Amino acid sequence: MKMIDVKAVLDEARGQGRMALFEHEAKDLISQVGLPTTRYHLTKDKDEAISAAHGIGYPVALKIVSPQVIHKSDAGGVALGIGGDEELSASYNKIIENVKERVPGVEIRGVLVEEMAAPSVEVIVGATRDPQFGPAIMFGVGGILTEIVKDVSFRVAPIGRDEAVKMMGEIKAHRVLEGARGIPPVDKAVLADIIVKTSSLMVENPSIAAIDLNPVIVYGDSAKIVDARVILGDEGDSDEAVEPADDLDAVLDPSSVAIIGASASPDKIGHKILRNILDAGFRGPIYPVNPRGGEILGLKAYPSVLDTPEDVDAVVVVVPSRFVPGVMEECVQKGVKGAVIISSGFKDVGPEGAQLEKTVLETAARGGVRIIGPNCQGVSNPVSGFCATWPLVAGVGPVAVISQSGSIALEAPSNLVDNHVGYSKSVALGNKSDVDEADLISWLGGDEGTRVIAVYTEGTDQGRKLMKAVRVASGKPVLILKGGRTEAGRKAVLAHTGSLAGSGEVFEAAVHQSGGVCVDSLMELLDAAKAFSMLPVPAGPRLIVVTSSGGAGILSSDASEKAGLALKPLSEDIVNRLRESLPEYCVLRNPLDLTGNAFTEPGMYRDALEVVLESGEADMVLVVFGDPISGTVELLGDAVRKARDKGVPVAVNYLGGAGVQKIEVDALQRSGVPVYSTPERAITALGYMNKYRLKRSSHGDE
Amino acid sequence: MKMIDVKAVLDEARGQGRMALFEHEAKDLISQVGLPTTRYHLTKDKDEAISAAHGIGYPVALKIVSPQVIHKSDAGGVALGIGGDEELSASYNKIIENVKERVPGVEIRGVLVEEMAAPSVEVIVGATRDPQFGPAIMFGVGGILTEIVKDVSFRVAPIGRDEAVKMMGEIKAHRVLEGARGIPPVDKAVLADIIVKTSSLMVENPSIAAIDLNPVIVYGDSAKIVDARVILGDEGDSDEAVEPADDLDAVLDPSSVAIIGASASPDKIGHKILRNILDAGFRGPIYPVNPRGGEILGLKAYPSVLDTPEDVDAVVVVVPSRFVPGVMEECVQKGVKGAVIISSGFKDVGPEGAQLEKTVLETAARGGVRIIGPNCQGVSNPVSGFCATWPLVAGVGPVAVISQSGSIALEAPSNLVDNHVGYSKSVALGNKSDVDEADLISWLGGDEGTRVIAVYTEGTDQGRKLMKAVRVASGKPVLILKGGRTEAGRKAVLAHTGSLAGSGEVFEAAVHQSGGVCVDSLMELLDAAKAFSMLPVPAGPRLIVVTSSGGAGILSSDASEKAGLALKPLSEDIVNRLRESLPEYCVLRNPLDLTGNAFTEPGMYRDALEVVLESGEADMVLVVFGDPISGTVELLGDAVRKARDKGVPVAVNYLGGAGVQKIEVDALQRSGVPVYSTPERAITALGYMNKYRLKRSSHGDE
């Protein structure tokens, strides 16, 4: 193998205006970094090809090399499985003839003679440059089926060997790698090496847009890359991660506030926001700003922020967009530190608005003013009473909400308060001109009142910054719902905010790599936030279900498998102890079925939970009340306290209790026990806790 | 091809105690019914093998034939791709040697010489005999990946060609059949023919337990079955469908009732049930039966049902199981027509209880008494007040609930009443000793008060009866949640098809074939029941979303793709008309985003819906209120009425409205508009309506 200059090869191809390297160039390049390929030789004529074939050994493949021929098979430029000189000679003539006939004026650079690799397990290793996250690596089992079923795993590059091995475990077809009939198991270290080297190649060469190693044929402890494709792009960004900002006190927890566009008319947003800040009990000075002056909601109004008597920490802006640049000039003059811009009519309405937004941003930057919005539904901090949004949602709790959608920024707190969870902050990002998810996650990582961070986002153009923020904050669970994951959804994203929506796969991989958790729907986001805020993170995947409803038990089993939880059979030991404390009719399995008799003998729950928690066989517990059982808070009290001490989460599903159920669910949640309306919802939430545990522990290993 | 006697071949193999046919026998058998196989020849020695190879043409494969060798490859009994006489000779010796060495005392019946089929698209066609539904057919794209990813489609046999073609469309990898690079599209008629013939083979030969045709290689308009496996079983049942019963008036809507085991003690079930029947306003005579006599809840109690003064149509039995046989004797004597047996202690506690259950059943059968239960949570008919269950759930509506689980039989009505849907009947089946899901579906098909049937079941041992009932009732949507779908204890059986047919796959196929709809979770069952009860069934898959929340719009797009709905771009025509009636800031796409301004200009919903409904471009509509908008019932009133006239379902998702939202959701549902807490839930429910439409229309075609 001759040594080549990687950059020179790439530059030469780009110089010739090519979008991709020739296959032999691609193989030269990957060989250079130690990737194993089939043997190959670029030949200029038939005699050279025959002698190359002798060197390589029959059978061989022939492939045309030409800048005009992208799809070699379609052009008749490929011959496979050639067994001898005579066949080679005929095939050689044939493919030259084919290509000349099908591609008029074709410039033939030669014919590539390649080793035919013996069949074995085929995998694909690929790399792409994601618009949000930069270089990303993919692994899958090869073949048209994988391509169609999309059974692949992604990581943002660079990655190490451990992470590469994990990728292999994530694909559905991972059993293929573990040895099927007649095929030895794959040495994962060999594959991991290929993945890691491909990752480095991408990271170190910004002019490579994509790499396909497809197929890579794996033989036990060795592998051969049969075909390699290297696509060129512009010299990309250097992918430096911007540091997330955490100087957001002024917009999230200001000491004083002016409402610019405050109104005396109750229908106006500028009235509602002022009233909500007052109703929420904001303790600092509040200055309504309105050109007409006068008095609004009992407060003196000022014609301009410049007229206010003292310092103003933050402003909330609701005036029409055309006035906002002027307002921002005054804010800078006044020394304001943060602005929540509710007004729409910026990037959301097209290029002219985008220009206006740029002007506002530039002015703000001059004065160090941080901006939430514009075109957003505001910020709500129920702790300090800075509830610059509408409607007002009261109820302090440990969950912070960050949302690109105003509706979700209000729905989430409202739902959490109804469930006796409450919230610490809710921020609607709108156009995200300045402060973004990463900045907020970073700030909330240090916020005392926040223990869980729930995010709705439609994507980011600073993926690495987001990863950094999630990584730093990940002592607190960061739960992310990504809107625009499917093709149809992606189109809507472009229409909505103009933000970049990359593929959902890379986004999810990036979040998981950083120790965050991606959820699948808005309900799951809220259900998971409730679990994380009320319960300790489990130490393992083992779930025990204690139920009075056999049906709910069966649905729990179905859901556990989906959620990746382990519903293990009870040990003989625990069964013996349960037999001592429970009546004979109980079904001593997992789920542990107390039967409908638990309605008249609810004390069985207490007895069963005591044994279950003492056994050490449950990393988490789901209690199902399947009958109108009263006094559940008292029934579970001791068990829940003991479980919390042991770090075992206990969730509840309540079914079939009609009126009693409503009272009990409320009381249980008030006492800090999360209740779900179906067994599947409870288990999905517990499943996310388990995923977080896995991400966090794998994270600790790195 | 010599003609063979299918039954004789099967009998001979069974006579020799074999579990499977030899490959050549299997190919003889399938050739007999016109299935296309590769050429093959059973040979007794090497010379015969060489002359067979000449007849077939090189390359060929050799395979050992021996009753002791099940896994031929593992035993070294297979040689592939043999190119000439010399190679054949060596391979022949080698495989004989291998097998003799690895399988001591092996009895070799010969060596099979087979044509090597040229590579092309590989599929698998299989058949198994399901314990619930009898013969079932499977189709998938072949290869180890399919087996692992389980990308297969099932049908209960027999099926016709149309259904066979539909199976091909259902697999994820269906694009493989439509022509990939270098491979022509598959002629589906050829494949359908193979599927239909395999189906007939299974139906006509009860002693075949399973068939694997794997792989079947397809070449455009022809196909070759490369390997065939036929597994033998016991002569199975004749799979005659039992007729579902519909003489259930006495247990669901009795004219008079006796409570056997009625109690004066408020804690007892025998008290609660009596009180619930009274509270629900049951109009016929009610007879408490208690050996002590006296008076219970103001009614005269009788020592025995035989002592009651008039005819008794139904009894509710709550006495301990050991007394139930005696009670049933008295019921028969009295001429009772139906018994709801609440008491547990039958099949649910083991063999002794099962014997007791059998005795009760036999007695009941003598007198024509139909039984719900035993070991069940009763029956509730809120229309007549026959609420023989606990707790009492009041609220009449169009949904009938059938549940193998008592908790779900109470949870579902309770949830439906909370959502202003109500219910017509709820039946908890318990041990299902007599009346089962099929009987109830059949009866409810003719019940005036029922428009939607929601079922929770853990399976049936009379699958064909269930299919018949669903088919007959399917003018009314039958929604089924199957518990126990992901049974971990799936047996590794001899044939692939059997291992791929878990309890869930064939069940779901059977329900869909009958025009029913399978749902994935308890919440989806209730969400779908709400949609079906309040809305017309859509005429197509086209959804238009009208929203004030861009984020909810994006989540709707994501969910639509998952649910199989089509979120098509709006036509120029509708965009023009919308432009006339809506302000400029609205985003005239699908989702149609009215933006947060809809909070102050809610009339836009009315204007937008008028255009959308008149356009004829929406088969269904989702309205998202993403702000605290009041007066939604009035806003939507006209549109909802118009939509109902046109057969267009309109569902609502309400978000971010806090206190206003709670009032509006209640009012909307009271007015007959279904509201969902997240966009994804709404779209999943609409997706089930679309699936029902598809099943129903495909059903009409048959």
Per-residue pLDDT, B237: 57
Closest residue, chain B, to A349 (C-alpha): B585
User: Considering CB atoms only, which of A148, A411, A487 is closest to B172?
Assistant: A148
Per-residue pLDDT, A16: 84
User: Considering CB atoms only, which of B411, B458, B677 is closest to A523?
Assistant: B677
Closest residue, chain B, to A350 (C-alpha): B585
Per-residue pLDDT, A17: 82
Whether A352 contacts chain B with CB within 8 A: no
pLDDT mean by block of 10 residues, chain B; 702 residues = 69 85 94 94 96 95 91 89 94 95 92 92 91 91 70 93 93 81 81 96 92 91 93 70 86 98 96 98 97 96 97 98 98 98 93 96 97 97 97 97 97 98 97 96 96 95 92 91 69 49 82 95 98 97 97 96 94 97 95 94 97 97 97 95 96 96 97 98 98 76 36
Q: Do B391 and A657 touch (CB under 8 A)?
A: yes
Task: Could you please state the CATH topology (level 3) that the domain comprising B249-477+516-531 is classified under.
Answer: Rossmann fold (3.40.50)
Q: A536-698 architecture in CATH?
A: 3-Layer(aba) Sandwich (3.40)
CA distance B480 to chain A (A): 13
In chain A, % of residues over pLDDT 70: 93
| Sheet strands side by side (includes B620-625) | B592-593, B543-547, B620-625, B650-654, B675-676
Q: Do B145 and A141 touch (CB under 8 A)?
A: yes
Whether A181 contacts chain B with CB within 8 A: yes
Rg (CA), chain B: 31
Q: Do B522 and A555 touch (CB under 8 A)?
A: yes
Q: Do B408 and A655 touch (CB under 8 A)?
A: yes
Q: What is the pLDDT of residues B308-366, one digit of tens each?
A: 999 999 999 999 999 999 999 999 999 999 999 999 999 988 899 999 999 999 999 99
Supply angle C-alpha B124, B126, B132, rounded to 5: 145
- Chain A hits for B411, CB-CB cut-off 8 Å, are 655-656
CA distances from A329 to A291, A316, A360, A363, B178 (A): 16, 14, 8, 6, 62
Please state the φ and ψ torsions of residue A468, each to the nearest 5 degrees.
Answer: -60, -45
Q: Kindly give, in sequence order, each residue whose CB lies less than 8 Å from that of residue B490, ignoring residues fewer than 6 positions away.
A: B499, B502, B503
Sole residue written with tokens 């916020």: A447
Domain(s) labelled CATH 3.30.1490.20 in chain A stretch across 6-115
Decide: A461 and A397 in contact? Cβ < 8 Å. Answer: no
* Complex ipTM: 0.92
* Bridge-based pairing state of the strands B152-156 and B208-219: unpaired
The answer to whether the peptide bond before residue B309 is cis (omega within 30 degrees of 0) is no
Query: What is the Cα A584 distance to its own chain's centre?
Result: 48
Question: Helices B23-32 & B6-15, crossing angle to 10 degrees?
Answer: 160
Q: Do A600 and B561 touch (CB under 8 A)?
A: no
Domain(s) labelled CATH 3.40.50.261 in chain B stretch across 536-698
Best of B178, B557, B665 to disrupt the A interface (most A CBs within 10 Å) is B557
Supply angle C-alpha B146, B148, B150, rounded to 5: 60
SS3 (DSSP) at B488? coil
Q: What is the pLDDT of residues A150-172, one digit of tens each?
A: 778 899 999 999 999 999 998 88
Residue B248 has, within 13 A of its CA and on its CB side, a CA count of 26
Q: Do B73 and A181 touch (CB under 8 A)?
A: yes
Q: Do A411 and B349 touch (CB under 8 A)?
A: no
In one-letter notation, the amino acid at residue A323 is: F
- Chain A hits for B551, CB-CB cut-off 8 Å, are 403-408, 456, 458, 483, 496
| CATH code given to domain B121-232 | 3.30.470.20
Per-residue pLDDT, B349: 87
Nearest-angstrom CA–CA distance, A141 and B176? 16
Per-residue pLDDT, B589: 95
Domain(s) labelled CATH 3.30.470.20 in chain B stretch across 121-232
Nearest-angstrom CA–CA distance, B141 and B152? 7
Q: Do A410 and B172 touch (CB under 8 A)?
A: no
A464: nearest Cα among A211, A620, A179, A238: A238
Q: Kindly give, in sequence order, each residue whose CB lies less than 8 Å from that of residue B35, ignoring residues fewer than 6 positions away.
A: B194, B197, B198, B213, B225
Number of H helices, E strands in chain A: 23, 29
Q: Do B149 and A148 touch (CB under 8 A)?
A: no
Q: How confident is the model at residue A130 (pLDDT cuts 50, 70, 90)?
A: confident
Sole residue written with tokens 């794996």: A218
Nearest-angstrom CA–CA distance, A18 and A414? 56
Nearest-angstrom CA–CA distance, A517 and B370? 53
Q: What is the pLDDT of residues A482-509, one digit of tens each?
A: 998 765 544 444 333 333 334 688 899 9
- Chain A hits for B414, CB-CB cut-off 8 Å, are 656-658, 661
User: Considering CB atoms only, which of B269, B549, B600 is closest to A405?
Assistant: B549
Among B residues 259-288, those touching chain A with beta carbons less than 8 Å apart: 267, 269
Closest residue, chain B, to A266 (C-alpha): B600
Best of B98, B145, B530 to disrupt the A interface (most A CBs within 10 Å) is B145
Closest residue, chain B, to A146 (C-alpha): B145
CB pairs under 8 A between A and B: 251
The answer to whether the peptide bond before residue A291 is cis (omega within 30 degrees of 0) is no
- Chain A hits for B123, CB-CB cut-off 8 Å, are none
Nearest-angstrom CA–CA distance, A563 and A639? 24
CA distance A239 to chain B (A): 28
Best of A393, A411, A568, A590 to disrupt the B interface (most B CBs within 10 Å) is A411
Q: Using the predicted structure, report yes or no on whether residue A180 has a pLDDT greater than 80.
A: no
Q: Residue B121 — left, alpha, or beta (φ > 0 → left; ψ -120 to 50 → alpha)?
A: beta
User: Considering CB atoms only, which of A143, A484, A677 is closest to B523?
Assistant: A677
Q: Which CATH number fits domain B6-115: 3.90.550.10, 3.40.30.10, 3.30.1490.20, 3.20.10.10?
A: 3.30.1490.20
Q: Do B521 and A407 touch (CB under 8 A)?
A: no
User: Considering CB atoms only, which of B176, B377, B624 is closest to A144?
Assistant: B176
Q: Using the predicted structure, report yes or no on whether residue A329 has a pLDDT greater than 70.
A: yes
Nearest-angstrom CA–CA distance, A442 and A535? 23
Long-range Cβ pairs for the range B164-167 (8 Å, 24+): B164/B137, B164/B139, B164/B191, B164/B192, B164/B195, B164/B196, B164/B199, B165/B189, B165/B192, B166/B698, B167/B137, B167/B139, B167/B195
Decide: B266 and B240 in contact? Cβ < 8 Å. Answer: no
| Length of chain A measured in residues | 702
CA distances from B162 to A478, B135, B168, B196 (A): 49, 18, 10, 10
Q: How confident is the model at residue A143 (pLDDT cuts 50, 70, 90)?
A: low
Residue B480 has, within 13 A of its CA and on its CB side, a CA count of 31
Whether B185 contacts chain A with CB within 8 A: no
User: Considering CB atoms only, which of B269, B390, B658 is closest to A410?
Assistant: B658
- Chain A hits for B627, CB-CB cut-off 8 Å, are 406-407
Decide: A284 and A307 in contact? Cβ < 8 Å. Answer: no
CA distances from A131 to A504, A518, A527, B147 (A): 12, 19, 31, 35
User: Considering CB atoms only, which of A173, A403, A415 is closest to B149?
Assistant: A173
Domain(s) labelled CATH 3.40.50.720 in chain A stretch across 249-477+516-531
Helix intervals (H) in B288-345: 324-334
In one-letter notation, the amino acid at residue A217 is: I
| Lowest mean pLDDT, pick from A20-24, A309-313, B427-431, B488-492 | B488-492
